Structure 1
Amino acid sequence: MQREHWASHFGFIMAAAGSAIGLGSLWRFPYVAGDNGGGAFVLLYVIFTFCLGVPIFIGELAIGRKGQHSPIFAYEALSKKGSNWRLLGYLNLLTSFVILSFYCVVAGWCLNYALMSLNQFTVGKTPEEIRAVFDAVYASPGLNLFWLLIFILLNVGVVYTGIRKGIEHWSKILTPALLVILIALFIYGTTLPGFGDAVKFIFYPDFSKLTPSVILNSLGMAFFTLSVGMGIIVTYGSYLTPTENLPKTASIVALMTLLVSLIAALMIFPIVFTFNFPPEGGPGLIFQTMPVLFSKLPGSLVISTVFFLLFVFTALTSSISLLEVLVANLMELFSWKRHRAVIISSSAVFLFGIPSALAGSSALFPNWETVYGKNFFDTMNYISASWMTPVAALLTTFFIGFVMKKKETREEFLQGGALRTLFGPWLFIIRYIAPIVVILIILEQGGVVHLGKLLTP
């Protein structure tokens, strides 16, 4: 069976950027930045994105394009016969599955808020009352299950039709549309009284707030927003043509995701500080803040509805990339047709997403938070972003640096016109810098080493 490929460079960029923007930049980055103290976290996030995230992103593209397979078989094809590197593909598969299960719940909130916006739910409410609506949504089991199902069906509709007609077609339309409305809302945010406080919170690092957990979260955030360690980039790389310049492509996607992350933060935190909300808003931060802003604008019904619909669609560009990882692997593992792989994988995601959908109401596993310290939704969110993706990214650096043949790695890196002088530094980062940094951060978080003592006078 001939492997499908992207029809255009622009289509791939929009699909890869859309995967990151909806999943990481717009929803996760602002609230994680708020929960981790702002400036110092953001600074580390930027450093990790370019120094570690981009090199690994390039490597995953190279693995996918060279292997011409989904992750499980790509790792197997590029390693020695009898090795167990296909297990890394299974880790990618599991990570995507876990993330997709709770992310579809978040996207269901977007659908719910789009309908609520049409019903003008903010009319007559104070900012505090608007903010409190999310708590009611979060604690409504029936609502969350309903919108979870609807959003998964939307995913099925897109992924069912394949790469060019499904994922690429919609990404080229929806990703630019969201960027336009984000920039417009950011510009308006600059007029709010809390904009100065927001800039200070985001761009002025307070290193006293740096803890091992904050450092690990910033590393996980860098990988999360670039979608590395999940199998997405390996899968998308397998659909690339030989003419694609991998370093250039990775840099463009990284700049877009970083820009959108910062714009999203500068769109949300002016509202937080203007209305004296706590910056530690958790996963519901964007749903608690944006409706407050919309309620102050003329034509709030249209603006709010359009924003949340576009948020739904950009969430879709993220979720379809995750679902495509599951589908592509199942198609190759069991020689299934696309439609069968889509139906089975989406059904499994729905079933595993039920505990996350019910987490706010404690209708299922009521003692989960007592036992594990976080509810089911937060547990899946934390483990996947702060542990599974960094570990997968770490193993990927070992694979690229020491398992793949250097000749094959060089060929993939240089195809499409990449500068030859970049290959040596990139491979050095992949082999030595990235693994050491990730290992040290993981060991610090695990309490095995205590680097913080070295920095204390």
Structure 2
Amino acid sequence: MKRESFRSRLGFLLVSAGCAIGIGNVWRFPYVTGKNGGGYFVLFYILCLLIMGVPVLTMELAVGRASRKSAILAYKTLEKPKSKWHIHGWFCLIGCYLLMMYYTTVSGWMVSYFGRFLTGKFYYGMPAEDASAVFGQLLSDPVEMGILAVAIVIVGFIVCSFGLQKGLERVSKVMMLALLFLILVLAVHSLTLSGAAEGMKFYLLPSMDSIRENGLRSLITDAMNQAFFTLSLGIAAMEIFGSYMSDDHALAGESIRICALDTFVALMAGTIIFPACFSYGVAPEQGPSLLFVTLPQVFVNMSGGRFWGTLFFLFMMFASMSTVLAVFENILAVCMDTFGWSRKKAVFINGVLLMLLSLPCVFGYNIWSDFHPILGKDVLDSEDFLVSNLLLPIGSLVYLLFCVTKWGWGFDKYLAEVNKGTGIKLSPKLKPYFQWVLPILIVIILLQGLL
């Protein structure tokens, strides 16, 4: 069977960036930035993306493009006889399932809030305590959350059932272009608010106060973490798009473009949120509740807030769905490649499986609210802990070692693949950095996440 490929380079870049652009950019990035006092954190974040994110991204894409296969068979194609690197491919598949087990719930929250703003359940002048109570009401309702999570699974797999070009690429292109348009409109609007200048000063002007308050070590490790997790590296979510790529363009340039799009969206999310927070006297370091508890209070106090709230959660829906579609495609590709299933069969089996697997996260806030499987964390946080703190850093370390050590694919073969095509080339002089410094940085992230 002939390998599917992207119709255009723009399609590849938008789908790959769409996989990276998710709730990590537009939800996690602003609150981690707020917690670390803005300024220097943003600077270190961009630096960490360049020195860690881009190199590991080239490795996932290189393994995909060189093998033209999904995770498990990619390793089998490139590894030396009798070696066992391909076992990691199974962990990649588990990681994708685990990620979707809670991502469908969070995507459902975005849909719920979009619907509430659209239909006027959030309205101008709504009491702040009523606006912030909505999230608790949503979490306590297993029926609404369950229906939304199952709907996300059904819509996602219907799109992917049309194939790479007619399904994923076509829908992701429209969604990503709409997302980029919405984010610009929202950012321009935020910059016209009364407290915009203060908000942007906090957000982008480096201040020694933030380092004194938070400590340089904490600030740098948070920046490393965010730069690393924003690209979803380590569970083959990006590797699969490498397998659909043409050989026309070198991978360093493509990786930088994906990172640039991803960073643009994260920075714009901050441009939307910080001016709004400062204009309406809301603390920007509110943590994970920033999006669902704090921001609705801002929108209901804003003139035209219902309109801006609707647009904001439409943008959030696109951001989360772009990741859902990309990871679903990866799961389907692994099943089609490894088990020889047709796309229809893979869609049906995985659709039913993920509908069932999404329910523990839904029930974790109501029916099973006393169930705390890992370190006293609820179901969503436990699933996220396994993905973010274990599977992503360990997986990235495996990809790195596979690409740069003699026991794996080997640095020379990796470099030849990365530099195939036109564009920015990586120098062989980077070998010591890739072999010694980068693994240590990833181990630091892993240990930090576990401690």
Q: TM-score, normalised by structure 1?
A: 0.89
Which AA in structure 2 matches 1:263?
M
What SS does structure 2 have at the residue aligned with 1:3?
coil
Between stretches 406-415 and 235-244, larger displacement belongs to: 406-415
Distance 1:74 1:269 in 2: 43
Pairwise CA RMSD of aligned residues? 2.4
* Aligned counterpart, 1:17: 17
Contact 2:28 2:288 in 1 (8 A): yes
- 2:248, 2:11 → 1: CA distance? 14
**For 1:372, what is the secondary structure of its paired residue?**
coil
Matches within 5 A, 1:306-325: 306-325=311-330
Alignment match, 1:398: 401
Q: Residue 285 of structure 1 aligns with which residue?
A: 290
Q: What is the CA deviation profile of residues 383-423 of structure 1, one whole-angstrom value per residue up to 9, with x for unaligned ones?
A: 32233211111111101111214443232112111345x33
What pairs with 1:311-350 in structure 2 (closer than 5 Å)? 311-350=316-355
| Shift in alpha-carbon separation, 1:186–1:441, aligned structure 2, 3 A | same
Taking the aligned partners of 1:380 and 1:240, their CA distance within structure 2 comes to: 31
Distance in 1 between residues matched to 2:449 and 2:296, nearest whole Å: 36
**Following the alignment from structure 2 to structure 1, what is the Cα–Cα distance between the partners of residues 228 and 351?**
24
Provide the residue aligned with 1:185 in structure 2.
186
Q: CA deviation at 1:375?
A: 1.2
Structure 2: gaps (5+ residues): none
Contact 1:212/1:444, CA 8 A, preserved across alignment: no
Measured against aligned partners, the alpha-carbon deviations of 1:418-456 in whole angstroms (never above 9, x if no partner) come to: 345x33244443222211211234345556xxxxxxxxx
Name 1:26's counterpart in structure 2. Answer: 26
Structure 1 residues 81-116: Cα deviation after superposition (integer angstroms, max 9, x where no partner): 221101221222222211111111111011111221
**1:53 CA displacement:** 0.4
| SS of residue paired to 2:230 | helix
Determine whether 1:384 maps to 2:387: yes
Distance, in Å, in 1 between the alignment partners of 2:273 and 2:308 is 15
Contact 2:250 2:424 in 1 (8 A): no
Give the one of 261, 270, 288 matched to 2:266. 261
1:232 alignment partner, SS class: coil
Partner of 1:453: none
Deviations 1:272-296 (A, max 9, x none): 3333334344444223344344435
Could you say what secondary structure the match of 1:241 adopts?
Answer: coil
> Given the alignment of the two structures, is residue 359 of structure 1 paired with residue 364 of structure 2, yes or no?
yes
Change (3 A) 1:360 1:215: farther
- Tell me which moved more, 303-312 or 242-251: 303-312
Q: How far is 1:46 from its partner?
A: 1.9
Q: Cα gap change, 1:310/1:267 in structure 2, threshold over 3 Å: closer, same or farther?
A: closer
The answer to which of 85-94 and 123-132 deviates more is 123-132
Encode CA deviations 1:191-229: one digit per residue, 9 max, x unaligned.
334434433443336234248776554333222222211
**What residue is the counterpart of 1:65 in the other structure?**
65
Conserved in 1, the CA contact under 8 Å of 2:32 and 2:287? Answer: yes
Bigger mean CA deviation after superposition, 31-40 or 55-64: 31-40
Structure-2 residue corresponding to 1:455: none
Greater mean deviation of Cα atoms: 226-235 or 21-30: 21-30
Instruction: Name the CA shift for 1:230/1:173 in 2 (closer, same or farther; >3 Å).
Output: same
Tell me the residue number matched to 2:103.
Answer: 103
The amino acid across from 1:275 in the alignment is: Y
User: Residue type of the partner of 2:59?
Assistant: G
**Residues 152 and 58 of structure 1: CA distance in aligned 2, closer, same or farther (over 3 Å):** same
Give the stretch that moved more between structures: 79-88 or 299-308. Answer: 299-308
1:144 paired to 2:145? yes
CA distance in 2, matches of 1:338, 1:28: 34
8 Å contact kept, 1:217–1:386: no
**Counterpart for residue 165 of structure 1:** 166
- Retained in 2: the 8 A contact 1:21–1:225? yes
Q: Supply the distance in 2 between the matched residues of 1:197 and 1:166 (Cα, whole angstroms).
A: 43
- Taking the aligned partners of 1:135 and 1:387, their CA distance within structure 2 comes to 29
Distance 2:154 2:198 in 1: 41
- One-letter identity of the residue aligned with 1:397: L
> One-letter code of the match for 1:100?
M
TM-score of the pair, normalised by structure 2: 0.90
Aligned residue for 1:360, secondary structure, equals: coil
Evaluate the alpha carbon distance shift between residue 406 and residue 382 of structure 1 in structure 2; reply closer, same or farther with a 3 A threshold: closer
Conserved? CA contact 2:190–2:272, under 8 Å: yes
What is the total number of aligned residue pairs between the two structures?
A: 444
